Amino acid sequence: MRVTMIGSGYVGLVSGACFADFGHVVTCVDTDAAKIEALNRGEIPIFEPGLDDLVAKNAREGRLYFTTELDEAVARADAIFIAVGTPARRGDGHADLSYVYQAARDVVAKLDGFTVVVTKSTVPVGTGDEVERIMRETRPEADFAVVSNPEFLREGAAIADFKRPDRIVIGTEDARARAVMEELYRPLYLNAAPLLFTSRRTSELTKYAANAFLATKITFINEMADLCEQVGANVQEVARGIGLDNRIGSKFLHAGPGYGGSCFPKDTLALMKTAQDLAAPLRIVETVVAINDQRKRAMARKVITACGGSVRGKRIAILGLAFKPNTDDMREAPSIAIITALQDAGAEIVAYDPESMGPAQSLLPDIKYAADAYSCLEGADALVIVTEWDAFRALDLARVKTGLREPVVVDLRNIYRSEDMRRRGFQYTNVGNA
């Protein structure tokens, strides 16, 4: 089949490369000319494990193309995926749908023959109806169906998630569109990935419900961690104790500095706003959003306490900036709020991250960036672990201790063990006495 991706970011590029690897012929379109030029030179504009090889292989074998030109890519496509950004709108927190609507207008002008237009971007319930309305209004005679097919991949494990998803949700009641979607995802039948066909609105809401539920789980264990600290209990053991119950499950029960990233913060907010507008407020989600907002600066207070009540004039080493390991994505990373709060309190910040220091520079211009973990912590008054990159899990602790001016370690991801760290002479703080 011929597939066109509108938007070649984290989702469009990974989905496009994976569809090409299944044997479809894919054209990835983006308005960002620099991104497309880089892709055509064989450079991958983001860090995602395995993506460089997958893109190179499929481009070499003639199944994956990159362009800024919509015309031909749209006219020949069986399916066109809209995978553009839907960031939180400034001011009110609703999803900004301007990129989606622009893509719909761009696409409809070039359609030729029956085409399935698929929203892969995360969009509020009812957006498919509006996309369809815009397209029909622009070109009443065009032959198309608008389908919802939200993406559930995780950055850092995106290729495996796309190729071996827990499920694929497809929102359409159009028989022709259903046949095209079945054909597109047919390669996944081998992996027994269930294809759930629903109404378009149900599909759109399912994506938000999934993200809101996961954000709730994280927030639940984060609050439990705070209580553990007050009563001398261990949050990791509590998480294991509840997670082994199949009804609860062990995933997303790792206490930490609060969720961040390009999805959970904006999606919980957008869902909350939609529900409020429709007079069906989601009070649990509202509370989750409020708790998570406060948590990041609370983590800075934890660092200040660990430093004896003040960080003024102190040098704080930060290991990890990306919102999670194995990505360079800095969108809504907890590190931003934590570092800003520490700077507000008078600290000097030195940071190191294996992949995200490039994207971080514009968000955190007035911190120092180190070349590696050990030079980052050299002479620092405290070390704060913010992202649990594998490379930080087995640091040479003797070297860490001699490098630091004071042996203060604040581990916001619980990657070390309290007893061990204290035995080695560190003043060690983590989340929930793990």
Ligand X SMILES: NC(=O)c1ccc[n+]([C@@H]2O[C@H](COP(=O)([O-])OP(=O)(O)OC[C@H]3O[C@@H](n4cnc5c(N)ncnc54)[C@H](O)[C@@H]3O)[C@@H](O)[C@H]2O)c1
Residue ranges in contact with ligand X by CB under 6 A:
6-12, 29-32, 35, 83-86, 99, 102-103, 106, 121-122, 151, 153, 155, 262-263
Rank residues 3 and 311 by Cβ distance to ligand X and give the closer one.
3
In the sheet with 315-319, reading across from the earlier edge strand, the strands are 368-369, 348-352, 315-319, 382-385, 408-411, 427-430
Residue nearest to ligand X (CB): 9
> Which one, 229 or 329, has the nearer CB to ligand X?
329
CB of 324 to ligand X, least distance (A): 10
Instruction: State in angstroms the smallest separation of the CB of 46 from ligand X.
Output: 7
In angstroms, give the least distance from the CB of 176 to ligand X: 25
Question: What length is written for the chain?
Answer: 434
Q: Which of 18, 28, 263, 307 is catalytic?
A: 263
Nearer to ligand X, 72 or 223 (CB): 72
Q: Which is nearer to ligand X, 5 or 395 (CB)?
A: 5
Give the up-direction half-sphere exposure of residue 27: CA atoms within 13 A in the CB hemisphere: 17
Closest CB 405 distance from ligand X, rounded Å: 38
Spatial distance between the Cα atoms of 418 and 133, rounded to a whole number of angstroms: 58
Separation of alpha carbons 24 and 331, rounded Å: 31
Minimal distance, residue 59 CB to ligand X, in Å: 18
CB of 434 to ligand X, least distance (A): 27
Task: State how far Cα 145 lies from the chain centre.
Answer: 29
CA distances from 160 to 46, 50, 51, 152, 157 (A): 17, 9, 11, 11, 6
Residue 249 in tokens: 């499950």
- Which of residues 204 and 229 has its CB atom nearest to ligand X in the complex? 204
Q: Closest Cα to residue 418, out of 176, 237, 193? A: 237
Candidates 132, 295, 288; CA nearest to 225 is 295
| Residue (325 or 407) nearer to ligand X, CB | 325
3-state DSSP assignment of residue 29? strand
The SS3 call for residue 71 is helix
For the question of residue 18 being annotated catalytic, the response is no
Buried-exposed string 124-157: b where 16+ CB fall within 10 A, e elsewhere: bbebbebbbebbeeebeebebbbbbbbbbbebbe
Q: Would you please indicate which residues are annotated as catalytic (active-site) residues?
A: 263
